[in-house]
Amino acid sequence: MAGDTTGSDMKTGSFMSEKSAKIFVAGHRGLVGSAIVRKLQESGFTNLILRTHSELDLTNQSDVESFFSTEKPAHVILAAAKVGGIHANNTYPADFIAVNLQIQTNVIHSAYTHGVKKLLFLGSSCIYPKFAPQPIPESALLTGPLEPTNEWYAIAKIAGIKMCQAYRIQHQWDAISGMPTNLYGQNDNFHPENSHVLPALMRRFHEAKANNAEEVVVWGSGSPLREFLHVDDLADACVFLMDKYSGFEHVNVGSGVEVTIKELAELVKEVVGFEGKLVWDCTKPDGTPRKLMDSSKLASLGWTPKVSLRDGLRQTYDWYLENVIQKKQ
């Protein structure tokens, strides 16, 4: 039925039995895409289609169209996006809205027109209103104004969710959306200016340890609560959703575990092995007091995260030492 918005007419459970089916992972070099590729390979999938940005510009409609026409993948996981922190969003708002809308529109439309069976679109927790209830349920979408600093990116991602829903209603096409919480893990961005809180802390503690510094000063009081999910857990959830979920509504993907920034900093300090003092600069702003996603819908489907924060931080620091520090030397 064209008006069926439940997705109940869609068949689930066939993804894991089609290990030789062609799967296009868009954005396979990023934090998320690279983890999805690792998970699919570990799970025995043998026919992954991967393209670098220089091989396929996803913002170019005719290039995307000819790619789908030639390759005809059976499944698509859309992890490609232009991402960045507050400074980047403030400086390049046109890029954040235009590039993301172009990527999504081109990939989703070409996937549909060339017979892709199922598509998973990935967004971010920033789609939710600035003052959403905590923990944030999927139903909070479009119930209030967005955080102004990243609304350009958020609007594009909301449009992606709505595009998947629209194609499901009009074309009975199996397009689903997953919205991850704050992610971390190997292939994260450790850049000194524009990295997120967790890799930024890791880098600073490592540099302080290497330089025998007496203390590390961190902005704020350390009291805000945050949620972190290891990217390997997200990849596991993506494979689970491809196999088990065919619903209309987007699905939150979180760890369900809250940690204060203070607890996080202490844990990173311990993992890195920095012996000095941790000092909090309370003259600096704290940001949102609490940000947690309600992932009970995903849990009710039967998925739970497996990587503890401590283990995930250890693995991430090992990767940082091997791939960021050693390459500098």
Is residue 225 a part of any domain in this protein? yes
CA 146: distance to chain centroid? 18
> Can you give the CATH number for the domain in which 43 is found?
3.40.50.720
**Locate tokens 């997953």: which residue?**
178
Q: Which residue, chain included where needed, has tokens 């890195």?
A: 272
Question: What residues form DSSP beta bridges with 252?
Answer: 179
In a domain, 2, yes or no: no
pLDDT at 5: 47
What's the CA dihedral at 299, 161, 234, 19 to 10 degrees? Answer: 100
Position 225 scores a pLDDT of: 95
Please give the Cα distance from 226 to 292 (Å, whole number).
6
Cα–chain center distance at 161: 14
| Helix, strand and coil percent figures for the chain, each rounded to 5 | 45, 15, 40
The phi and psi torsions of 79 (rounded to 5 degrees) equal: -110, 5
pTM, two decimal places: 0.94
HSE-up of residue 2 (Cα within 13 Å, Cβ side): 2
Question: Would you say residue 3 lies in a domain?
Answer: no
Cβ atoms of residues 64 and 106 within 8 Å? yes
Q: In this predicted structure, what is the pLDDT of residue 8?
A: 46
Would you write out the chain's pLDDT as a tens digit for each of its 329 residues?
Answer: 334 444 444 666 689 999 999 999 999 999 999 999 999 999 999 999 999 999 999 999 999 999 999 999 999 999 999 998 778 888 999 999 999 999 999 999 999 999 999 999 999 999 999 999 999 999 999 999 999 988 999 999 999 999 999 999 999 999 999 999 999 999 999 988 778 889 999 999 999 999 999 999 999 999 999 999 999 999 999 999 999 999 999 999 999 999 999 999 999 999 999 999 999 999 998 888 999 999 999 999 999 999 999 999 999 999 999 999 887 77
Q: Say if CB 261 and CB 284 are below 8 A apart.
A: no
In a domain, 13, yes or no: no
In a domain, 63, yes or no: yes
Domain containing 303 equals 19-328
Residues 311/257, Cβ–Cβ less than 8 Å: no
Q: Tokens for 314, please give them.
A: 């250890």
Q: With 0-12 CB in 10 A as exposed, 13-18 as middle and 19+ as buried, what is 55?
A: exposed
Residue 51 domain-assigned? yes
* Domain count across the chain: 1
- Strand pairing class (225-230; 258-260): antiparallel
Residue pair 180/124 in contact (Cβ under 8 Å)? The answer is yes
Is 4 contained in some domain? Answer: no
Please report the pLDDT score of residue 4 as a whole number.
43
Task: Find how far residue 40's CA is from the centre of its chain.
Answer: 16
Catalytic residues: 153
Helices (H), the chain: 31-42, 61-71, 86-91, 93-113, 151-171, 197-210, 231-244, 261-272, 296-301, 309-320, 326-328
For residues 153 and 89, is the Cβ–Cβ distance under 8 A? yes
Structure tokens at 58: 């996803």
Tell me, yes or no, whether 132 lies in a domain: yes
Q: Take residue 65 and report the two structure tokens written for it.
A: 């169209």
| pLDDT for residue 139 | 98
Reading the block at residue 117, the tokens are: 């069976």
